[in-house]
Amino acid sequence: MKGPLFYSKILLFGEYGIIKDSKGLSIPYNFYNGALKISENETEVQEESNKNLRKYAAFLQKLQKEQPTLVTFDLDNFIADLDRGMYFDSSIPQGYGVGSSGALVAAIYDKYALDKITVLENLSREKLLSLKTIFAEMESFFHGKSSGLDPLNSYLSIPILINSKDNIEATGIPAQESNGKGGVFLIDSGLVGETAPMVQIFMENMKQEGFRKMLKDKFVKHTDACVDDFLNGDVKSLFTNIKQLSNVVLDNFKPMIPKQFHQLWKKGIETNAYYLKLCGSGGGGYILGFTENLEKAKEALKDHKIEVVYNF
């Protein structure tokens, strides 16, 4: 047995901000995917995945007991499938900011949720919001606090615009320029990051008034502007705003940027060759880059592995 594929995602804008009501824009990233699969002779990796899913089944049992009106699952079937060796067969790297746990949550909801909201029906704003609320609870097992956006993106496989916490919509993004000079790219930091401790640091920082003010007056402001510019195809304004965002993140989100990238981050801002931002919660995994000139950026970053994900 092999279930449907669920894809990785890239949160282009909105990490952390969306926990506190900024805009956000998340797009599917079809390069990686995962699916639930049952096979008899399990490898070590498959066994590990199966073990993880067992812990997750116990969590879902508790969740549906505590919040029966939110969501319920066919847990008997889930556990029976786990006994038959089911695991999440996934190429999505874990702790890389591209939503491995989100794809897993989407796959489990798709297969085992009762009365589920399906992709095929007309998805009103209310239904999208219900889905996001369910996914936020389901993903909290992996993340601590979660917005639910990653699983939603993976489940629907379309770009999602977050206007605010309770106003989200499916959206289109401007078509790519196939021979555009500029682009968005991923840099592999070579380190595994963990979302939960990063979100914890953020929540701790949010207890300080100065940090809250910075978030509202700078981080959220630039994030919102970047989302608007990206969707409007206003590339010139986008780069003005992304430069500011890159600066604010370097100044205020240091624990989320691996040390060996601080200098590289700064160099981008100083030379205007590229601008870096967090990809998801940071702390390792991928770093997102924006450049008006991919050739120039590649030259400046020639010691690093780069994957282009969008062309301007």
Ligand X SMILES: C[C@@](O)(CCO)CC(=O)[O-]
Contacts with ligand ATP, residue ranges (CB under 6 A): 34, 49, 52-53, 88, 90, 94-102, 104, 142-143, 150, 194-195, 280-281
Q: Name which of 45, 56, 152 is nearest 99 in CA terms.
A: 152
By C-beta, is 9 or 23 nearer to ligand ATP? 9
Question: Burial of 82 by CB count in 10 Å (0-12 exposed, 13-18 middle, 19+ buried)?
Answer: middle
By C-beta, is 94 or 247 nearer to ligand ATP? 94
Smallest distance from the beta carbon of 205 to ligand X, in angstroms? 13
Smallest distance from the beta carbon of 89 to ligand ATP, in angstroms? 7
Smallest distance from the beta carbon of 284 to ligand X, in angstroms? 13
Compute φ and ψ for 80, nearest 5 degrees: -60, -40
Question: Which of the listed partners (ligand ATP, ligand X, none) does 199 bind, with a CB threshold of 5 to 8 Å by partner kind?
Answer: ligand X
Smallest distance from the beta carbon of 271 to ligand X, in angstroms? 28
Residue 311 β-bridge partners? 183
Task: Say if strands 86-90 and 6-13 run parallel, antiparallel, or are unpaired.
Answer: unpaired
Compute φ and ψ for 277, nearest 5 degrees: -145, 170
* Residue appearing with tokens 């589920």: 116
Q: Which residues bind ligand X (CB under 6 A)?
A: 11, 15-16, 18-19, 143, 146-147, 149-150, 195, 199, 280-281
Question: Which of the listed partners (ligand X, ligand ATP, none) does 128 bind, with a CB threshold of 5 to 8 Å by partner kind?
Answer: none
> What is each CA distance from 213 to 10, 16, 199, 252, 274, in whole angstroms?
27, 14, 18, 12, 27
By C-beta, is 195 or 241 nearer to ligand X? 195
Smallest distance from the beta carbon of 80 to ligand ATP, in angstroms? 18
